[in-house]
Structure 1
């Protein structure tokens, strides 16, 4: 059997390899640090995920015999005027979206950002029947306000949802089955409104990965390979993730130091990318090879639990297009901004949430004196709420982990007798203590990863681990 994987796969495809059937503790430490498994790693030494952009040969028993890349990320820019690049993007984007939706009704998640706004423009241009929606956290920033304005200007039906406190605990087992415990359970907040999404008709058009492909990586292009590795580690590790990974490494008595192992793994993978003249292009390629398919794509499974998904920015042609764009045009989201301004000037005048309250015409003022009044007003509003005892919820874990009832459920999962056999109780107890008594923001990721590992371990047959 031969399986050809896309440049950015939208789902993981598993295969067997000749190795002991043992838990891959080193891989799990990386998972704890970053929130995703690196390269082809899985929970098991004798199981891998097929690599991106490869032609893979498997035998009848599902063992991987051979894997060869059919596409290599490259940086071979074709010099041409910026407007020509924008026009090329416009034509390609329309072609891809049109082919993907095939005249079906479309379900469009909207935000205050750029990716979904570009999709709204092309879907309107294609005269698609669109049901748009957005969501915000209970007691959170009103994210749906901008999305509703986008939908209204495009003539789309629109629903606004609220992500409630503690929704996770009634359905965490189902979510664990859907994502296979290859992602934490707080990141895919769309899980909270899955039943509502199932009530729609059509296919999802999702804007995932546009923000990575159409931006620079904020580094100098002549950055050395070692500094590139350091930048990647900073980008992919979560707050407190390195601490948890090293703690697990020591608790499992693995040889050496976690960081040294992690650094060498990242460096080896980065050196395989044949882009030596552009650090930005090389880091973008690394993220697209290893972060997109092993983290972003995992959470797409939640959308697929409701309806089929389409992803214009995942399309092979879009990836090939990126490789041929001069890096100077990719910095600062220039292409998408220009596209929106040209195609829908009124949409460009709506607030860009990243630079609230600025829009696509004045966002450059955000960090200048001209943007100071808006920044101060925005900050003051949330400070007042905090003083009144109603702080703004900014992260899903705040709704799922904080409060007496959430804490009861969390402890039930973390301190089960079964999980103690996998992760030493002192590790879990220390992380829980740090989260509940110190900086919650610093330790929330670690707690979330231990919850994920607990669900994975507890659903394994006892004899297999």
Structure 2
């Protein structure tokens, strides 16, 4: 017998086999996959496979079938009556204790961005005097994100490397990526694949800030307060173009009922199992139970290919801490912002990319009329670049799908004859045409999912 206890937020997927179920492709699950970009719950590519869920203890037999399972942790929402200062002090102690524990006796590799999560790590690692090698990357022809990463690294005294992600980087790494993530995530998001060899040359373990932005923010917007929780979740996780592709595949494969009704029923079932009344907390928990393990964690596999990974915000203690904080303190990233300002004011003065050109002291001015001069300047720069024929790259897929060479390689995969028989030639042609029309942003996701499924099918045949 094999005994397994899964973390509250698992870093890796673990699989079991279903008893007396045939090894057929789980087409309903595939439709959900292309609509969301990740599988839901226990779903996998095949019906006889199941993914072990978070916060549970399993016993598996020699055939990897589940003999017994029980939950040892269920998310809850029991906010304590504490002051914001007390919450900040507790967050500071807990976060730094986790970072210290995870970085003990080894150098740390820290990816830096212009956001808050990696910045909190930089502040903690600097305070704890850990040996840090940091790096950042920017898209070729895109916003120079590495400039903010370098500013943070310089302020903290970290070693720093800047990388540029080139056009079409994916094609030469396609087969390797498929072996790493087993096609459980689309291929255009893990841009670290472009520098995997360079990452392997670094020394230490990764400290990654994933999921801090979910745990330390409100789960809903003020405009969503009157919506049902299932409608809020549906709105947050369904990709509009993915919905089109999923509905087309559902019809192509002759599945029972309608896709949207099936998906909403699945979501309602999963939400009903979360015994939390507060909408914001319930949405945050849903994301942590299903989005984090099935999308975010899948993409961590690329980092794991180079070095071990540690994630302070995935820590079980951090998850329990979140369950007992008032929603008012979690909203708008307040604790992270105040932590950085309190522990390292100079780092807080560096531009916050999401609020550029503002920083953690003045980002509240990023609204009319204070930000009008910045908006005008940005628009003029963008217009000038467009007049000079320079397009600013903002998204991963723009490096992969735009341009003649990219297009030819992409068509080699998605218009493969065997793949067209599986998903339907009209389906592929429709998504491809829509992407190359006026709706590239909407249809980049389903096109990326078609690419991923094509590579998966080639590996299975």
Q: TM-score, normalised by structure 2?
A: 0.98
| 1:99-125 CA-partner distances (Å, limit 9, x unpaired) | 111121110000001000100011011
Q: Contact 2:220–2:283 at 8 Å: present in 1 too?
A: no
| 1:6-41 CA-partner distances (Å, limit 9, x unpaired) | 000000001101212110000000000010000110
How far off its partner does 1:416 sit? 1.2
Structure 2: gaps spanning 5 or more residues:
none
SS at match of 2:417: coil
2:437, 2:282 → 1: CA distance?
A: 41
Are positions 1:77 and 2:41 aligned together? no
Name which of structure 1's ranges 134-143 and 368-377 shifts more when overlaid on structure 2.
368-377
Structure 1: gaps spanning 5 or more residues:
none
Q: Contact 2:219–2:282 at 8 Å: present in 1 too?
A: no
Residue in 2 aligned with 1:435? 435
2:375, 2:67 → 1: CA distance?
A: 57
Pick the aligned partner of 2:34 from 15, 32, 36.
32
1:26, 1:273 → 2: CA distance?
A: 23
Residue in 1 aligned with 2:448? 448
1:138, 1:22 → 2: CA distance?
A: 42
Are positions 1:312 and 2:302 aligned together? no
SS at match of 2:339: helix
Q: 1:9 to 1:221 in 2, by over 3 A?
A: farther
| 1:127-185 CA-partner distances (Å, limit 9, x unpaired) | 11111000000000110111110000000011110000011111101101100000000
Q: Contact 1:5–1:52 at 8 Å: present in 2 too?
A: yes
Are positions 1:280 and 2:280 aligned together? yes
1:170, 1:436 → 2: CA distance?
A: 23
How far off its partner does 1:221 sit? 11
2:146, 2:317 → 1: CA distance?
A: 32
Q: Contact 2:142–2:393 at 8 Å: present in 1 too?
A: yes
2:441, 2:222 → 1: CA distance?
A: 30
Q: TM-score, normalised by structure 1?
A: 0.97
Aligned length, in residue pairs: 459
Q: Contact 2:192–2:302 at 8 Å: present in 1 too?
A: yes
1:242, 1:381 → 2: CA distance?
A: 35
1:204, 1:379 → 2: CA distance?
A: 37
Residue in 2 aligned with 1:57? 59
How far off its partner does 1:220 sit? 5.4
2:365, 2:224 → 1: CA distance?
A: 29
Residue in 2 aligned with 1:243? 244
Question: 1:89-128 counterparts in 2 under 5 A?
Answer: 89-128=91-130
Residue in 2 aligned with 1:344? 344
How far off its partner does 1:374 sit? 1.6
Q: Contact 2:32–2:40 at 8 Å: present in 1 too?
A: yes
1:109, 1:222 → 2: CA distance?
A: 33
How far off its partner does 1:222 sit? 9.9
| 1:159-216 CA-partner distances (Å, limit 9, x unpaired) | 1100000111111011011000000001111111111111100000000000000000
SS at match of 2:350: coil
SS at match of 2:306: coil
Residue in 1 aligned with 2:372? 372
Question: 1:6-405 counterparts in 2 under 5 A?
Answer: 6-18=7-19, 19-219=21-221, 223=225, 227-276=228-277, 278-405=278-405
Q: Contact 1:197–1:306 at 8 Å: present in 2 too?
A: yes
SS at match of 2:423: coil
Q: Contact 1:220–1:279 at 8 Å: present in 2 too?
A: no
After the TM superposition, which segments of 4 or more aligned residues of structure 1 sit over 3 Å from their partners?
219-224
1:310, 1:241 → 2: CA distance?
A: 32
